[in-house]
Amino acid sequence: MPKLELLPAVDVRDGQAVRLVHGESGSETSYGSPLEAALAWQNAGAEWLHLVDLDAAFGTGDNRALIAEVAGAMDIKVELSGGIRDDASLAAALATGCRRVNLGTAALETPEWVAKVIAEHGDKIAVGLDVRGTTLRGRGWTRDGGDLYETLARLDSEGCARYVVTDIAKDGTLQGPNLELLRDVCAATDKPVVASGGVSSLDDLRAISSLVPQGVEGAIVGKALYAKAFTLEEALKAVSG
Ligand SMILES: O=C(O)c1ccccc1N[C@@H]1O[C@H](COP(=O)(O)O)[C@@H](O)[C@H]1O
């Protein structure tokens, strides 16, 4: 059985690495230079970086040049999110050399475009399913965007390669992941799922690891690393099997 992939997160707002609580604008805690944070995770042994342009996601500008600098400095695989909603933003994202992009709002608001880019780019496209309960949220998680399972069925039928599932109620809270949601999503799709939101401890990572046979491929870890609940080296060891 493959081991759980860990994706340490660097979320960028106004040029800084930040963590939010429940993804709410204004709840930021700042952790300094995004490049330094990303290099620290790479040096600690990460194989992936989850890199988010929060300003682009919220519609408060963008950090496109800085995101390109960070992605370009990485020797590891980069998953890029935030504000990728049309041909121009997708081209800019892919030009960073990232391994894949996450589409959020676009999957809710412009499904035809998303179907087109899934067909064109295959597994370079993942869709972020950011949910409250079973209702999807877009535009910086401020607007409802439909039913999780209806959208998942549509995206599956269009060949979407992978889903990044975030329980907004858990994100940035250090309250533990929503394992029930992950189980339910895995039961509804054959495609791999990356878990996001709530990881607080090595036991949480072990619990997510136990869902690898059901289809969970990876876990995004944010606040717990920045708050030093554990080190990335400890996390990688915990999921190494
Ligand atoms: O990661 C967050 O904390 C976050 C908070 C609020 C909004 C978005 C957030 N993250 C990522 O942004 C994309 C969605 O961006 P868009 O809707 O495509 O512009 C989503 O995949 C999250 O990974």
Instruction: Answer whether residue 151 shows pLDDT above 80.
Output: yes
Contacts of 204 (CB under 8 A, 6+ apart): 176, 177, 198, 224
**150 close to 106: Cβ distance less than 8 angstroms:** no
Q: Whose CA is nearest to atom 3 of ligand 1?
A: 23
- Whether 230 is in the pocket of ligand 1, judged by its Cβ within 6 Å, is no
Q: Is the ipTM of this complex over 0.95?
A: no
Provide the domain limits for residue 170: 5-238
The pLDDT score that the predictor gives to residue 1 is 79
Query: How is residue 164 written in tokens?
Result: 């990044």
Query: How is residue 28 written in tokens?
Result: 């930021």
How many domains, in total, are found in the chain? 1
The per-residue pLDDT for range 103-140, each reduced to its tens digit, is 999 999 999 999 999 999 999 999 999 999 999 999 98
> How close is the Cα of 214 to the center of ligand 1, in Å?
25
The pLDDT score that the predictor gives to residue 55 is 97
Give the residue, out of 67, 86, 130, 168, with the most ligand 1 atoms within 8 A of its beta carbon, to mutate for a pocket test: 130
Please provide the average confidence, as pLDDT, over all residues in the chain: 96
Q: Domain containing 22 — which CATH number?
A: 3.20.20.70
Task: Tell me if residue 76 falls in helix, strand or coil.
Answer: coil
The per-residue pLDDT for range 26-66, each reduced to its tens digit, is 999 999 999 999 999 999 999 999 999 999 999 999 999 99
**190 close to 153: Cβ distance less than 8 angstroms:** no
